[in-house]
Structure 1
Amino acid sequence: MERSLETQVSQAVDAWLRWLPRWQPATHRGRVAPCRRCFGSPILSAAGLGSDVPHGVQHGLSTRMKTIVDQAVAAYTARNLPMLQAELDQQAARNRARSYRPAEGLEPEFEGLPLDPDPVPGAPFLFTISGLAQESDAAVPELPPLSDEAKSALRQEVALADDYANMVGREICSLLLHHRLRVQAEIAQHVEPQIEAMLADLTRSLDAPFEPGADPGRQS
């Protein structure tokens, strides 16, 4: 029996909360471009995750909610949008033909993130994961072209799928409001102490920039 949307959201939040104690602040260089999935997300706002919450914490929840939306849209498309479904089936077959698919099978905390770090000026990469994936993709034949009439019909079905996705997203936002208190409580327990510790370390390093081993409270 198909699970209700309320059950799916509750189980996804539960899974994210089980992962949350394992989160640790990233030590690598941050990215310049914001994450399109998380930046300004109404789903994260509904869950009570503001812009002061680290992106790594946000991403795991937003990805889990996106999976719910994607699954709902896939079921709706299979029932009601035959042309779009046929196009998706062809694209799925093309994807399966690729020999290298590094973006598949990732944990929710990493799904949708860039495959490679931002380049450092003057230090080019010998190769990149995304570049290898593009080479693999180029070896697979392109899908057959569509007629103008087919393109117009496909655009209409895509618009219907987008409308349905937006409807499901709004319902998820409503359901997430019931989880705000426990989400915020877990953030306070597992995330905020680590952020405070990082800020304390930064304060100590700024107090003694030339003596990293010195006691910042010691007076000369």
Structure 2
Amino acid sequence: MEAQVDQAVESWLRWVPRWEPATHRGRVAPCRRCLGSPILSAAGIGADVPHGVQHGLSTRIKTIVDHAVAEYTARNLPTLQRELDQQSARNRARAYRPNEDLDPEFDGLPLDPEPVAGAPFLFTIAGLADDASAELPPLPPLSDEAKAALRQEVGLADEYANMVGREVCGLLLRHRLAIQEAISQHVEPQIEALLAELTQSLDSPFDPDLP
């Protein structure tokens, strides 16, 4: 686990110098992966850090937790594993899978931009993906006994995920200084430059030199 966290942070540190502020309109809905994330808190990344920078790290770390839970599930939770295998097979049968194999910086984000009032989309990527899913047959129904077993195993998987998450957060603490230094070096100067440019472009109604 320690090696995986080290590798994830190192990968994020290599990516941060390539980050640039987004020029498009920001999203209204908050990111459920990053909002209030204990991973970001452990890493020392505050809410004032741009979301793209947050998301790149939280996704990399979440992948570690997901893989650990997947291994635990395969070993110990047969009902849940069978359900996941059926869902995976169903997903692989879809003709259109736009949310797969994305870079960590984009994984888990909405597939489409926020709609603009009065300018509806002719189509959306999410809509096309939903259409592809609707063409597949539904999963086989579960018996009452299987549903009860599935609920119990989901609870066990959640408990294990929380345990792994706490361990990962503890390992992240040793990387706080390197993470904060990368933000200070590569992110904050770009934000300050944007603010300075915005300040210069605004007209001041109290400037006596203005006509």
Partner of 1:27: 23
CA RMSD, Structure 1 to Structure 2 (Å): 1.4
Amino acid of the residue matched to residue 29 of structure 2?
A
Partner of 1:43: 39
Task: Provide the secondary structure at the position in 1 that maps to 2:106.
Answer: coil
Aligned length: 210
Tell me the distance in 2 between the aligned counterparts of 1:48 and 1:218. 44
Q: How far did 1:218 drift?
A: 6.5
Q: Are residue 16 (structure 1) and residue 12 (structure 2) matched?
A: yes
Q: Structure 1 residues 218 and 127, CA, compared in 2 at 3 Å: closer, same or farther?
A: same
Q: Deviations over 1:97-118 (max 9, x none)?
A: 0000000010000000000011
Q: Are residue 196 (structure 1) and residue 189 (structure 2) matched?
A: no
Tell me the distance in 2 between the aligned counterparts of 1:79 and 1:164. 13
Q: How far did 1:148 drift?
A: 1.1
Partner of 1:67: 63
Aligned residue among 84, 109, 117 for 1:88: 84
Runs of 4 or more above 4 Å deviation = 216-220
Q: Are residue 105 (structure 1) and residue 101 (structure 2) matched?
A: yes
Q: Are residue 137 (structure 1) and residue 133 (structure 2) matched?
A: yes
Tell me the distance in 2 between the aligned counterparts of 1:149 and 1:79. 21
Contiguous gaps of at least 5 residues in structure 1 = 210-215
Q: How far did 1:205 drift?
A: 1.2
Tell me the distance in 2 between the aligned counterparts of 1:217 and 1:205. 17
Amino acid of the residue matched to residue 7 of structure 1?
A
Q: Which has the higher contact order (CA 8 A, sep 6+)?
A: 2
Task: Provide the secondary structure at the position in 2 that maps to 1:151.
Answer: helix
Tell me the distance in 2 between the aligned counterparts of 1:149 and 1:182. 50
Q: How far did 1:207 drift?
A: 3.6
Tell me the distance in 2 between the aligned counterparts of 1:219 and 1:108. 48
Task: Provide the secondary structure at the position in 2 that maps to 1:152.
Answer: helix
Task: Provide the secondary structure at the position in 1 that maps to 2:89.
Answer: helix
Q: Structure 1 residues 85 and 203, CA, compared in 2 at 3 Å: closer, same or farther?
A: same
Tell me the distance in 2 between the aligned counterparts of 1:121 and 1:187. 35
Q: How far did 1:138 drift?
A: 0.4
Task: Provide the secondary structure at the position in 2 that maps to 1:191.
Answer: helix
Q: Percent identity?
A: 76
Partner of 1:146: 142
Amino acid of the residue matched to residue 24 of structure 2?
H
Task: Provide the secondary structure at the position in 2 that maps to 1:77.
Answer: helix
Amino acid of the residue matched to residue 176 of structure 2?
R
